[in-house]
Amino acid sequence: MTTSLWTSRQPRDARPSVPVEYGPLVGRRDDEPMRRFRRYGLGQFIHFGLYSLLGGEYDGVSATGAAPAPEWIRAWRGPTAPPNWTDTYDRLNESFDPTELDARAWARQARQMGARYIIFTTKHHDGFALWPSAHSDYTVANSPFRRDLVGEVVDAYTAEGIDVFLYFSVLDWHHPGYTSAVPTDEAGRAGWQDFLEYTRAQLLELLERYPATRGLWFDGTWDASWVASHEFTHRLEQELREKRPGLIIGSRFRNDEHGARHFDSNGALLGDYEQGWERKLPANHEMLGGNDWDGVMTIGPNAWGWLRDTSGQYQKTADDLIDLLMRCRSMGGNLVVNFGPDGSGRMTAHEGRIAEQLGAWVAANADAVYDAGHVDLDPTGLGWLTGDDDRLFLTVVNRPVTGIARLRFPADGGRLPVAARLLDSGRALEMRITDIGYDLDAAVYCDVVIPADVRATRAFVIELALGEAGESTAKAERIDAWM
């Protein structure tokens, strides 16, 4: 059995066919929840928990470099780690009291940003539950805060029309039965069994308590112990789906009996969408093999939870995120931008700016973002192409000095642009279908003129209406070159 981390989809025909009993439970779905998923476009991730109280440091000492990330600060090791560190961390529930937290304000901000779904951390690797779980003492109920934070988030986002996905870490540093290795003795096996029952109970409890939940977003499923529990996870996925028909579960939940994660040993997707794109995006649409997917992205290089001191670390700007968003959309995926509120429960100033600026852009260019998906045309170095049945959108990120945005279309008599305009202002743009001649008969080109007086400080979208190619666009037949 292999326990390797997910790398990427392998071309199916390159694999020998292997007998698989614990493969996909459902095939490609085309029901209403999945059609909705395909039109989310933009999502928000929120990482919030005990680690948010610390911001990546303790008593003025930074854990950066000695812990993998601020939300991993419990794993702080080495000379800078405070003495008895994990005991100190594990008692943070006693001071968990984010008094400024207002889930309705978060949700309003997310709606202004244009997010159509949220993924919220109900329990991260530290095992602390942000809802009063009946199956654990390590929850918000045993903190000065006491409030059901998951419930507040579900209600607030649902009220703003934003779909809720619940993040749930299987990996749990607090549960005594959790082990990363496959247990080898009786006591270990009993502890692990206990852990599995607790995991099942918490998941059913979440679905029971929060019926508005649209999806479960799993994490921490890479350890050998979980990988070896494929019979249990197969049964559990079935149970979750039965409990909540339409529930969306990504490919990070379980693996087949050979240890293949995300895709079974024959390359079939294990879940409703590919959930392995984290801080990296596919290089091209072909890599995705037609599967649904989303990409989750931090604003800094690698901090999901709040990091107090970000000095020396590049923070993505709204322009970066617009670029990434449209890159995802051009490949049919959603971009999910992570926010890590501080210990009082407030979003940071930078996140506030991102929400505002990204939101303004998305609102002005909504047609290119939500209902427009991948189009089967050559990529252009100018930016990203999206489209629907009647329109094509070019998000210009790299403005050409020539003042001409040139798009290449196959010369097979299919539909071609008949009019162009700027999506945000509606200003009409001059365009022409040109037979440049250098492609012989393979392509025709659409040239859109970007006037010099179009002053853009961000990426902008050119909308092209598609229609039947007219007389004037007919291509001349040319003889091939003799070489």
Binding site for ligand FHN (CB under 6 A): 69, 71-72, 219, 278, 296, 304
Closer Cβ to ligand FHN, 6 or 157, answer by number = 6
Give all strands of the β-sheet with 163-169 in edge-to-edge order.
248-249, 213-219, 163-169, 117-123, 42-46, 334-339, 293-297, 274-278
Q: In 72-91, which positions are buried (b, 16+ CB within 10 angstroms) versus exposed (e)?
A: bbbbbeeebbeeebbeebbe
* Shortest distance in whole angstroms from residue 14 CB to ligand FHN: 26
* Shortest distance in whole angstroms from residue 276 CB to ligand FHN: 9
**H-helix segments, 221-331:** 224-227, 230-243, 318-330
Closer Cβ to ligand FHN, 42 or 69, answer by number = 69
Cα separation, 161 vs 174, in Å, equals 34
Is there a contact between 117 and 335 (Cβ–Cβ < 8 Å)?
no
Question: Which tokens in the block code for residue 336?
Answer: 């999910």
Residue 409 β-bridge partners: 444
Cα separation, 172 vs 133, in Å, equals 15
Closer Cβ to ligand FHN, 307 or 392, answer by number = 307
Give all strands of the β-sheet with 443-449 in edge-to-edge order.
404-410, 443-449, 431-434
Is there a contact between 128 and 177 (Cβ–Cβ < 8 Å)?
no
Question: Which tokens in the block code for residue 434?
Answer: 């040109």
User: How long is the chain?
Assistant: 483
Closer Cβ to ligand FHN, 178 or 460, answer by number = 178
* Shortest distance in whole angstroms from residue 389 CB to ligand FHN: 34
Residues 6+ apart with CB under 8 A from 202: 123, 129, 133, 135, 136, 168
Closer Cβ to ligand FHN, 222 or 232, answer by number = 222
* Shortest distance in whole angstroms from residue 265 CB to ligand FHN: 22
Closer Cβ to ligand FHN, 296 or 420, answer by number = 296
User: Nearest residue to ligand FHN, using CB?
Assistant: 304
Cα separation, 247 vs 294, in Å, equals 16
* Shortest distance in whole angstroms from residue 254 CB to ligand FHN: 16
* Shortest distance in whole angstroms from residue 387 CB to ligand FHN: 29
Closer Cβ to ligand FHN, 336 or 368, answer by number = 336
Cα separation, 370 vs 203, in Å, equals 30
* Shortest distance in whole angstroms from residue 2 CB to ligand FHN: 18
Closer Cβ to ligand FHN, 179 or 473, answer by number = 179
* Shortest distance in whole angstroms from residue 164 CB to ligand FHN: 17
For the chain, the distance separating the N- and C-terminal CA atoms, rounded to the nearest angstrom, is 55
* Shortest distance in whole angstroms from residue 231 CB to ligand FHN: 24
Q: Beta strands of 317-434 (E only): which ranges?
A: 334-339, 383-387, 391-396, 404-410, 416-422, 428-429, 431-434
Closer Cβ to ligand FHN, 296 or 331, answer by number = 296
